[in-house]
């Protein structure tokens, strides 16, 4: 019989229990013992949910207090010197210091580790920092403790490890230049120790995640796989290598031949690799097929998946396993609680618990096709597929007709940037090094309560509007007092930068409890694109117009771009991402034009997820970048030269896409750079970026408040790459997750840094 297993489960809890406990702990309102109890209860509940769904081998080690890559850094003793406790013993305090930075305590002032996206997902991980003399030591027992917990509860488990090659690939060499791969020989003995210890606990199988096998790997990294796993094969335990997010392609032979006991492949993202792998897999090896989508919320077509499984069973027999395509970390926990969704639409969906059920049904169907529960599940799946295909909810002729009428001219500004910027500078009359923020200001409890009361019908529209306008006045007043040059309205009315807009677009649906972890305690609730998208009415104009009425300074209109709206939603599977992006672009274009008509001189269209959408293989880059750039230009090009278009991008490796970013032709781009000490601006040294740019001068994901000198230093580094007349000064990202005191303190220092640079520039000119 095929074995049903899971690669990982959401860790935040159905009610975001982990998020709430973490934030209470950071505020000093929950003890460490209390926090650990919350974690223990969540793990037990999640193992039980998976077991009841029919999962036979439960993942252990997928739980993390902040991020699973950071957990591995603690386990291997990869703790940067600035975070090392005096006694050398890592603790939860060490872990959170590495993730969030510290202003003072045992570690002293220390900047948080760099954070970036986990492959092409919206999950963020803490980048390991390696030194040339890096030593590894087994110094964090979380994995072993949790394995013991699960086995004590009677579960059959499969501990999850990030593989040695993937772990090194994800990190960065710091200080003296060296090749990260040189550290492999030092790291492998630690993996051997981990496997020995797990075996001593009675573990039979371990899952070793090596997702970099779906990337274009240099030859020396390919060679290192064989060397590493030849050494690790001597360790006890059966080993399953897990790959996901794409196909093995040129690495298929390498992966199939590794001296391990099993291989997991993603047949959702890369179905074409299935028949080929059967001919390359050694006769002793388990093959795990990822047939249930671990990154989206639509129900699996069980008949289609079962066709593959039955074929595989004929070849593999008892060597066949079934799983989601990847960890279910990227999906919400449980659909059952969604009592406000349209009934038909809800019948199309599956969250993590339901996906575990689908995996278990598929595994059972291989050997028990006539089982009553299997037949009921298969019939339900057929009805869902039929319902989706014929539903009038999905298609809108007017949207398709408008798309068909789009011409290349719709994606072109009236003039080139060199001409536009002259007109914009004359109209805006801003000083050198103009200061601004990315858009949001602290979302206080009073703001959230007012928004909640309005949604529940406890607060009238008039009263709600009064509350939000008061928040706008406050945000504008604070910015004026701080001396910022370009202001924002603060986004008090917005729950999320995607959900807020999605709620006002046709073609989107929303969940109540569909939370997914982004990083640490930060959770997002992606909206669901189920049909063609259009904008029935203006979405932001009245709020932005009201803010502009409160000040003589320029207010930026704040929008979310089409690619980010797409990447941070659960998207349709029946039409291409390109088509969905173009539908979104037309809706946002209408909003941009309405803002301009309302007298707004600057409109920021955030494309935080632009780099995230880049295919993992270079062969797919050109097509993606063509349509992603075109979608941005389509939404931004309906305005006059005098209207300045800004965009913002989150943590990204800009070197890969710098030419495409330039092709977007935004007048100003703001980017996150402070955690990497402006390293990301190296892309702008090799490429002459033509437009204005605002490199973030402080990290908003940390409560730490940097001083003015630190910001000046970062801006001076930036000015070595970007001419001073094209530099803006801003934080790394929006400020909604921060508190007002630290926000104001940091912005005071930021404004002072900009003024200091202006004075220095004026002195040089004089």
Radius of gyration of the CA atoms of the chain, in A: 26
Q: Residue-wise over 655-686: b if at least 16 C-beta within 10 A, else e?
A: eebbebbbebbbbbbbbbbbbbebebbebbee
Give how far Cα 633 sits from Cα of 158, 645, 660, 687, Å: 47, 10, 11, 21
- Helix axis angle, 372-390 relative to 352-367, nearest 10°? 120
Q: Is 87 exposed, middle or buried (0-12, 13-18, 19+ CB in 10 A)?
A: exposed
Looking at residue 423, what DSSP letter applies? H
Residues 523, 516 contacting (CB under 8 angstroms): yes
Six token digits for residue 485: 């040059």
The answer to whether 553 touches 561, Cβ cutoff 8 Å, is no
Contact between 353 and 49 (Cβ < 8 Å): yes
The token pair at 41 is 């209860």
Q: Which of 72, 155, 489, 701 is catalytic?
A: 701
All residues at 6 or more sequence positions from 3 whose CB lies less than 8 Å from its CB, including other chains: 56, 57, 320, 321, 322, 363
Backbone angles phi, psi at 729, to 5 degrees: -125, 125
> Would you say the C-alpha torsion 142, 143, 148, 149 has a positive or negative sign?
positive
Q: How far apart are the first and last CA of the chain?
A: 82
Closest CA to 299 of 344, 347, 337: 347
Helices (H), 369-416: 372-390, 397-404
Name all contacts of 268-274 with Cβ < 8 Å and 24+ positions apart.
Answer: 268/292, 268/293, 268/294, 268/295, 268/325, 269/244, 269/245, 269/325, 270/214, 270/246, 271/308, 272/247, 273/247, 273/248, 273/249, 274/308, 274/312
Does 701 participate in catalysis according to the annotation?
Answer: yes
Q: Which residues are catalytic?
A: 701
């Amino acid at each position: 019989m095929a074995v049903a297993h899971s690669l990982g489960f959401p860790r935040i809890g159905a009610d975001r229990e982990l998020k709430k406990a973490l934030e209470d702990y950071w505020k000093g309102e929950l003890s460490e013992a209390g926090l650990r109890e919350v974690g223990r209860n969540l793990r037990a509940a999640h193992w039980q949910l998976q077991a009841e769904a029919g999962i036979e081998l439960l993942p252990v080690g997928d739980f993390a207090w902040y991020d699973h890559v950071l957990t591995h850094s603690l386990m291997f003793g990869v703790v940067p010197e600035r975070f090392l406790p005096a006694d050398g013993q890592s603790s939860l305090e060490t872990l959170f210091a590495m993730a969030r930075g510290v202003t003072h305590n045992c570690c002293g002032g220390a900047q948080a580790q760099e954070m970036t996206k986990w492959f092409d997902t919206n999950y963020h991980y803490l980048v390991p920092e390696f030194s040339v003399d890096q030593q590894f030591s087994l110094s964090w027992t979380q994995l072993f403790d949790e394995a013991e917990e699960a086995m004590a509860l009677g579960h059959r488990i499969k501990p999850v490890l990030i593989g040695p090659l993937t772990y090194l690939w994800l990190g960065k060499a710091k200080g003296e230049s060296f090749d990260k791969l040189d550290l492999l020989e030092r790291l492998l003995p630690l993996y051997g120790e981990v496997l020995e210890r797990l075996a001593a606990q009675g573990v039979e199988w371990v899952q070793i995640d090596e997702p970099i096998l779906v990337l274009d790997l240099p030859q020396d990294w390919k060679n290192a796989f064989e060397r590493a796993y030849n050494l690790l094969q001597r360790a006890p335990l059966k080993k399953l290598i897990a790959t996901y997010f794409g196909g093995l392609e040129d690495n298929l032979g390498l992966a199939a031949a590794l001296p391990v006991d099993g291989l997991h492949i993603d047949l959702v993202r890369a179905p074409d690799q299935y028949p080929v792998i059967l001919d390359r897999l050694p006769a002793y090896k388990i093959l795990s097929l990822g047939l249930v989508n671990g990154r989206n919320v639509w129900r699996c077509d069980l008949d289609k998946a079962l066709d593959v499984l039955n074929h595989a069973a004929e070849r593999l027999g008892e060597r066949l396993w079934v799983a989601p395509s990847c960890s279910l970390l990227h999906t919400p926990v449980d659909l059952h609680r969604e009592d406000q969704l349209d009934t038909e639409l809800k019948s199309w969906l599956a969250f993590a618990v339901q996906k575990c059920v689908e995996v278990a049904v598929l595994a059972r169907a291989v050997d028990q096709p006539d089982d009553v529960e299997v037949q009921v599940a298969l019939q339900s799946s057929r009805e869902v597929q039929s319902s989706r295909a014929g539903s009038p909810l999905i298609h809108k002729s007017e949207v398709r007709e408008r798309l068909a009428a789009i011409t290349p001219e719709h994606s072109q500004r009236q003039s080139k940037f060199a001409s536009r910027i002259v007109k914009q500078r004359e109209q805006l009359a801003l000083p050198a090094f103009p200061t601004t923020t990315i858009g949001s200001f602290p979302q206080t409890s009073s703001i959230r309560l007012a928004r909640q009361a309005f949604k529940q019908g406890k607060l009238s529209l008039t009263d709600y509007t009064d509350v939000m306008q008061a928040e706008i006045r406050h945000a504008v007043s604070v910015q004026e007092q701080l001396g910022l040059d370009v202001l924002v309205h603060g986004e008090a009315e917005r729950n999320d930068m995607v959900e807020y807009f999605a709620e006002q677009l046709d073609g989107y649906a929303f969940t109540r409890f569909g939370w997914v972890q982004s990083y640490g305690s930060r959770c997002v609730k992606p909206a669901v694109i189920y049909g063609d998208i259009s904008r029935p009415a203006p979405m932001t104009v009245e709020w932005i117009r009201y803010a502009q009425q409160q000040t003589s300074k320029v207010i930026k209109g704040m929008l979310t771009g089409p690619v980010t709206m797409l990447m941070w939603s659960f998207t349709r599977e029946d039409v291409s991402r390109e088509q969905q992006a173009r539908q979104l672009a037309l809706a946002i274009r209408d909003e941009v034009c309405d803002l301009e008509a309302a007298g707004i001189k600057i409109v920021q269209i955030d494309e935080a997820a632009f780099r995230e959408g880049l295919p993992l293989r270079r062969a797919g880059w050109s097509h993606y970048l063509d349509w992603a750039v075109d979608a941005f230009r389509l939404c931004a090009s309906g305005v006059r030269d005098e209207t300045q278009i800004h965009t913002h991008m989150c943590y990204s490796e800009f070197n890969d896409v710098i030419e495409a970013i330039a092709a977007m032709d935004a007048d100003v781009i703001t980017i996150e750079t402070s955690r990497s000490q402006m390293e990301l601006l190296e892309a702008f040294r090799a490429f002459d970026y033509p437009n204005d740019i605002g490199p973030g001068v402080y990290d908003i994901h940390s409560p730490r408040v940097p001083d003015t000198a630190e910001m000046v230093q970062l801006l001076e580094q930036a000015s070595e790459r970007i001419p001073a007349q094209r530099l803006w000064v801003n934080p790394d990202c929006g400020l909604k997750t921060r508190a007002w005191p630290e926000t104001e303190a940091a912005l005071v220092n930021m404004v002072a840094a900009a003024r200091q640079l202006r004075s220095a520039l004026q002195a040089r000119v004089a």
